[in-house]
Amino acid sequence: MKVNVSEITDSPDLRRVFLEVCHRIYSKGFAAANDGNVSCRVGDNFLATPTGFCKGDLRNEHLIIVDAKGELVEGKYKPSSELPMHLAIYRLRKDVQAVVHAHPPYCTGFAAAGLPLDRCILPEVVMTIGSVPLTSYGTPSTEEVPLAVSEVIRSCDALLLANHGAVTVGEGLMEAYFKMERIEHYAHILFIARQLGGEVLLSSEQVEKLYRLREESSAAGLNAGCWTCDRLFGGECPPEGCPLGYTPGSKPSTGEDLSGVVKAAKGVFGAGDGEEGYGF
């Protein structure tokens, strides 16, 4: 189910879907204790999870609404200390309506091992998500995390946070959640393939066919392709170069100063910290 929140304001339907996403995150084991956070646009503001709550226990009265600076607009609870990461993403990606952050075990295992999910192995992942890059490490609840995410989020819809977890974005809440489910499934399968002797990469011809299908079907999202195509395409880039225009071995980060994007929400750093604990 895809819910475009730009078409629904803060409706009961939106809150129902929001809570459904939170409950699925916990029931699928994507976040332990009070870990993980979810948000979506509601006009110029954002519906978000409060800090300190287990996603499996969240009810409507726990949800909060914050503005673009992270100030509380509605609700009784404090925002998550990871809210600035969400706000930085919304600032950089006007198309993004929802952000999901969790710690699914296989994705987080790859993130802890320093391994991005950026190889063309599963057709459905190439078609729907593309590369899942690994950001540089950031201390949770500091501006290091939104900065690291800001460097890659304009080129992908899913990413791994080094030694931490994963982030997915979408044009709707369920879409962002399903991307999280899909990359966790992908990481799980890749883990099994490596126990069995290692994955077999799709060939450049196979990948290009998928890219063509992807373009024809106008699959949603950015579908970042080959960021390290010297490795993706069976050890070699196609002679004509990467179909998506990336230079072999290059990363989408431009090296520009993104601190302004993060500073806009700086006032809320630490806002969610305290007796309830951090909102990892």
Active site residues: 82
What minimum distance in Å lies between the beta carbon of 35 and Zn ion?
6
CA-CA-CA-CA dihedral for 260, 262, 265, 268, to nearest 10: -140
Nearer to Zn ion, 137 or 219 (CB): 137
Tell me the residue nearest to Zn ion as measured from the CB.
280
Nearer to Zn ion, 164 or 214 (CB): 164
Nearer to Zn ion, 46 or 233 (CB): 46
What minimum distance in Å lies between the beta carbon of 104 and Zn ion?
11
What minimum distance in Å lies between the beta carbon of 83 and Zn ion?
12
The structure tokens listed for 110 are: 């790859």
Closest listed residue to residue 242, CA positions, set 207, 213, 217: 207
Task: Give dist(CA 132, CA 115) in Å, integer.
Answer: 10
Task: Give dist(CA 237, CA 122) in Å, integer.
Answer: 18
Note the residues at the interface with Zn ion (CB under 5 A). 165, 280
**Is there a contact between 149 and 161 (Cβ–Cβ < 8 Å)?**
yes
What minimum distance in Å lies between the beta carbon of 80 and Zn ion?
9
Nearer to Zn ion, 82 or 128 (CB): 82
What minimum distance in Å lies between the beta carbon of 114 and Zn ion?
17
Taken in order 254, 255, 260, 265, the sign of the CA dihedral is positive
In the three-class reduction of DSSP (H, G, I as helix; E, B as strand; rest coil), residue 40 is classed as strand
Backbone φ, ψ for residue 192 (5° rounding): -65, -45
Task: Give dist(CA 203, CA 98) in Å, integer.
Answer: 33
Q: CA-CA distances (angstroms) from residue 237 to 96, 130, 231, 232, 241? A: 31, 16, 8, 8, 6
Nearer to Zn ion, 139 or 195 (CB): 139
